[in-house]
Chains A and B, each alone.
Chain A
């Protein structure tokens, strides 16, 4: 069976047109046209709202879709909307770094454990290798951070990570990923802060900077 990249569905608020995100919109236009042709008798019955969904559309894609609707369903009373206008698929970048939701976790995170926070995150314990902490905001570790740390996970590059012992497997802030150098030998362990400067993650001594 041929795979369908365009699916039409009836819904309470009109017709949902779901476009597969595996294909660019311009390659879907023929299939879309065909689907509209088939349903012309339905669309001409009365007014109808068409919602395009399945992916985030760029302005030029929106224009293309609207032109197609106007052309194929010219005689019908239809309005066009997009799912992303109402509810966005993309997570909103979390900006509330200085105040707002903060999760406190008491205890050590062991390998295989994943701790997530919609806001900031404070871990009162160690993060062992193999454990992962992910927060939309900042991360503070009152212990040894040896696992994977991901701050600003929804895209905030201002987010930072502070740990009493910063020896992570990997550090991620927003969309930037880094790992410690292979032969990282330190004479003493001090609290350190990781943050983004010039698209790069920097780690510096925390105590001397305050």
Chain B
């Protein structure tokens, strides 16, 4: 029996979709059977980030309305054996699906997969309610900004009110140099405010932009620091104990190497 995990944030643009793509891919590389469901109906992105846009025939609305079977809507990722995607509909809106239908769908699909990861839309309206309906676990993504943390706090409250109690936090796009100078909130500040368990910290990484544009998740890049952070997060989801990377040391080392080359 699998587990349904919703990835949410409240605020837009903090990296929910990128996190879903990378964590999902990393889990599938750990030999888990993973299904990603894009619940952002009308503004779908997950298919683009995974590079699967041109394979879409059926979507989540077709599944819910009974136009096709769930298996027909699943896009199998050629590159990763165990990774499947059910895309969102683009020409419909969030009201095409209701939480009750999502719950039934999740119950059914749980039998087939180890992990079902829901990519939640920004906001707290119908789309959010659909995404969390069938979830047992939630991963809240935030960036080290006051506005994102404020929204994350609101989301954690809403998740608890909807009986999702297993909530963990990912701090995304952390910049060690700014934290050091005191220009950016550090992870401990955020944890003090939100008071939830930390699932991982992902450093700000330009490589993420190129990898999402190319449709290739960063976890496949052995050199990417962010990719490594996502792999660690996937390990922690499966229950393995992995220490949080010392970003200061890592990025310090990388910068040192870079500087070395620059001098030449």
Binding site for B on A (CB under 8 A): 111-114, 129-130, 132, 169-170, 177, 179-180
B95 CB-CB contact with A under 8 Å? no
- When the two chains form their complex, are residues B54 and A112 in contact, meaning their CB atoms are under 8 A apart? no
Within the assembled complex, what's the spacing in Å between the Cα atoms of A114 and B56?
15
B54→A169 contact, CB < 8 A: yes
Contact size range, B? 10 to 19
Chain B residues with a Cβ under 8 A of chain A = 42-44, 53-57, 90-91
Q: Is the CB of A130 within 8 A of B55?
A: no
Q: Say whether B53 contacts A169, CB under 8 Å.
A: yes
- For this complex, 22 residue pairs linking A to B, each with C-beta atoms less than 8 Å apart, are A111-B90, A112-B42, A112-B43, A112-B90, A112-B91, A113-B91, A114-B91, A129-B53, A130-B44, A130-B90, A132-B90, A132-B91, A169-B53, A169-B54, A169-B56, A170-B54, A170-B56, A170-B57, A177-B57, A179-B54, A179-B55, A180-B54
Give Cα A177–Cα B54 distance, bound, in whole angstroms: 10
Inter-chain contacts of B55 with A (CB < 8 A): 179
Complex Cα distance A10/B55, Å?
46
Chain B residue with minimal CB distance to A112? B90
For residue B55, which residue of chain A has the nearest CB? Answer: A179
Distance between Cα atoms of A113 and B38 in the complex (Å) = 19
B122 to chain A, nearest CB (A): 16
**A112-B90, A177-B57 known; 14 other A-B pairs, CB under 8 Å?**
A111-B90, A112-B42, A112-B43, A112-B91, A114-B91, A129-B53, A130-B44, A130-B90, A132-B90, A169-B53, A169-B56, A170-B56, A170-B57, A180-B54
Bound CA–CA A21/B141 (angstroms)? 44
Smallest beta-carbon distance B94→chain A, Å: 12
A182 to chain B, nearest CB (A): 8
State the majority secondary structure of interface residues on B.
loop
Nearest neighbor of B42 in chain A, beta-carbon distance? A112
Q: Tell me the minimal C-beta distance from B11 to chain A in angstroms.
A: 22
Q: Which A residues are CB-close (under 8 A) to B44?
A: 130
Greatest chain A CB density within 10 A among B43, B54, B56 is at: B54
The 3 A-B pairs at the shortest CB distance, nearest first, are namely A114-B91, A179-B54, A169-B54
Instruction: Return A38 CB to nearest CB of chain B, in Å.
Output: 29
| Interface-central residue, A112, A114, A132, by most chain B CB under 10 Å | A112
List the A side residues contacting B53 at CB < 8 Å. 129, 169
Q: Which residue of A lies closest to B57 (CB)?
A: A177
The distance from the CB of A163 to the nearest CB of chain B, in whole angstroms, is: 16
CB-CB nearest in chain A for B54: A179
Assembly CA distance A170 to B44 (angstroms):
16
A130 to B55, CA, bound (A): 12
Find chain A residues with CB under 8 A from B90 CB.
111-112, 130, 132
Query: What's the Cα separation between A111 and B53 when bound, in Å?
Result: 13
Complex: A13 Cα to B206 Cα, angstroms: 70
Q: Taking CB as reference atom, which chain B residue is nearest A111?
A: B90
Most chain B CB neighbours (cut-off 10 Å) among A130, A132, A169: A130
Given the complex of chains A and B, what is the CA–CA distance between A114 and B92 in angstroms?
9
* A206 CB, min distance to chain B CBs, angstroms: 22
Residues of chain B within 8 A (CB-CB) of A130 are: 44, 90
A108 to chain B minimum Cβ distance, whole angstroms, is: 15
The docked-state distance in angstroms from the alpha carbon of A19 to that of B54 is 37
Q: A3: shortest Cβ distance to chain B, in Å?
A: 14
Point out the residues of chain A lying under 8 angstroms from B43, CB to CB. Answer: 112
- Chain B contacts of A179 at CB under 8 A? 54-55
B222 shortest CB reach to chain A, Å: 22
Instruction: Tell me which residues across on chain B come within 8 A of A132, comparing CB atoms.
Output: 90-91
- B57 partner residues in chain A, CB cutoff 8 A: 170, 177
Q: How far is the CB of B175 from chain A (nearest CB, A)?
A: 31
The complex places the Cα of A132 from the Cα of B44 at a distance, in Å, of 14
Q: Residues of B contacting A177 with CB < 8 Å?
A: 57
In whole angstroms, how far apart are the Cα atoms of A129 and B44 in the complex?
Answer: 12
Query: Bound complex: CA of A169 vs CA of B55, how far in Å?
Result: 8
Q: How far is the CA of A124 from the CA of B57 in the complex (A)?
A: 26
